[in-house]
Amino acid sequence: MITSTQNPRIKHLLLLQQKSSQRRADGLFVVEGRREVEHCLEAGYRLRTAFVCEEISSPPPNLPPSLPPRREAFEVVPVSPNVYERIAYRGGTEGIVAVVEARSRKLTDLKLSASPLIVVLESVEKPGNLGAVLRSADAAGADAVVVCDELTDLYNPNLIRSSIGAIFTVPCVTCTTDECIAFFKERGIQILTAQLQDSKLYYDTSMTGPTAIVMGTEATGLTDQWRQAADAHIRIPMLGRLDSLNVSVSAAILLFEAVRQRKS
């Protein structure tokens, strides 16, 4: 059992949590919580190590209980409550923090349905926003989330935590704007850009065919490159004094309009 927060393995774990450069250099990232670890393994990721506090975890320590029977073995390292308190971001995570091998996906790796629904985020900065968008994408059954010109690490612990594991249930890839636009044009996927200017109400636009909903940051919106590539510009009516919604709220509204149209 590891009982000291100065243990080299604990120090390395903390570096993986705190520094994207360390995650990239080692090809590893950190997942906290039984539910998140379970989604991670079900998505085919390989666990390197699971740090388990037996006083908190239930049942300890061969976790999670509902995983597929065939999986790569991983090391289980017991830690004391004071060590777990140091490495855990939040309470109520069942005493599990895991180190996982990273994977990279490309646009061409996506397995899309006959009429895909895709969310595109350009230059998203806040990991919590991306995590919330992934949760909405999972709930709406979206085929993928694409992050163009990324400003946040997909394996940021805040992103994984805010997505409650949706980063593993929804295919998420990064690419440049040029690559993304070319990918959609080649496959006949209509591009709908969410913007206030020169746009029509989102519920007046058909989303029943292959569709990519593209959103930018709240501060600057989308670049002209996306506006010019779009097949249609859509907007959410703003009836108050403010002129924008949080990007994750906007994504949820537009995704479930697509769901409504496709179910009707």
Residues 92, 127: one domain? no
- pLDDT the model gives residue 217: 77
Q: Give the list of residues 6+ apart from residue 185 with CB closer than 8 angstroms, or none.
A: 229
CA 230/CA 10 separation, integer angstroms: 48
Selection from 127, 148, 50 nearest residue 93 by Cα: 50
H-type alpha helices, 88-230: 127-139, 157-162, 166-169, 177-186, 224-229
Residues 93, 219: one domain? no
- pLDDT the model gives residue 102: 94
DSSP one-letter code for 237: -
**Domain total of the chain:** 2
DSSP one-letter code for 2: B
- pLDDT the model gives residue 70: 41
Q: What is the largest CA-CA distance in the chain?
A: 62
Tell whether 216 is covered by a domain.
Answer: yes
Residues 49, 160: one domain? no
DSSP one-letter code for 202: G
- pLDDT the model gives residue 219: 67
- pLDDT the model gives residue 91: 62
Compute the residue count for the chain: 264
End-to-end C-alpha distance for the chain, whole angstroms: 57
Distance of CA 164 to CAs 47, 74, 100, 159, 168, Å?
A: 18, 22, 16, 9, 9
Q: Which residue range(s) make up the domain with 250?
A: 107-263
CA 23/CA 31 separation, integer angstroms: 12
Residues 169, 226: one domain? yes
CATH number at residue 236: 3.40.1280.10
Side chain identity, residue 213 = I
* Full-model pTM: 0.88
Residues 81, 188: one domain? no
- Cβ atoms within 10 Å of 206's Cβ, excluding its own: 11
- Cβ atoms within 10 Å of 220's Cβ, excluding its own: 9
3-state secondary structure of 12: helix
What does each of the 264 residues of the chain score in pLDDT, given as a tens digit? 999 999 999 999 999 999 999 999 999 999 998 888 889 988 889 999 999 988 875 543 445 544 444 455 788 999 999 999 999 987 656 789 999 999 888 899 999 999 999 999 998 888 899 999 999 999 999 999 999 987 778 999 999 989 988 999 999 999 999 999 999 999 999 999 998 888 999 999 999 999 999 998 766 678 899 999 999 999 999 888 877 788 999 999 999 999 999 997
